[in-house]
Amino acid sequence: RKEVEQDPGPFNVPEGATVAFNCTYSNSASQSFFWYRQDCRKEPKLLMSVYSSGNEDGRFTAQLNRASQYISLLIRDSKLSDSATYLCVVNSWNTGKLIFGQGTTLQVKP
């Protein structure tokens, strides 16, 4: 079983739609949680950190449920430019390394 699991998709949605991605992680010692965005043939870039209290950045909302070991990302009012792969990532402070999920591919259509 992978340490971080995501539905690879693809998710095909029309512009303006709301789309939600989920992931689960197996290591209860994980301490930091993130969503990274990766465009085709580019490097991953940090989209946002994820906190138990939930956090929002414009059209993006991230949520962490530590009890269920579950992380979510909600994108409202999807834009064509949101088309990318979204990677769920966890980290333990005492290891330094990031553990990535497989990624979920989003394609926003006009």
Which residues contribute to the site for another protein (CB under 8 A)? 4, 8, 31-32, 42-46, 49, 87, 89, 91, 93-103
* Nearest distance in Å: CB 96, another protein: 4
| Residue 45 or 109 with smaller CB distance to another protein | 45
**Min CB(90)–another protein separation in Å:** 11
**Strand-pair category, 104-109 with 84-91:** antiparallel
Q: Which residues pair with 24 in a beta bridge?
A: 5, 70
> Looking at beta carbons only, is 9 or 17 nearer to another protein?
9
Nearest of 3, 27, 1, 6 to residue 72 by alpha carbon:
6
Q: Which is nearer to another protein, 6 or 63 (CB)?
A: 6
Phi and psi at residue 20, to the nearest 5°:
-125, 135
Q: What is the smallest separation between the CB atom of 110 and another protein, expressed in angstroms?
A: 26
Least distance (Å) between residue 13 CB and another protein: 20
Instruction: Look at phi and psi of residue 12 and say left if phi exceeds 0, alpha if psi is from -120 to 50, else beta.
Output: beta
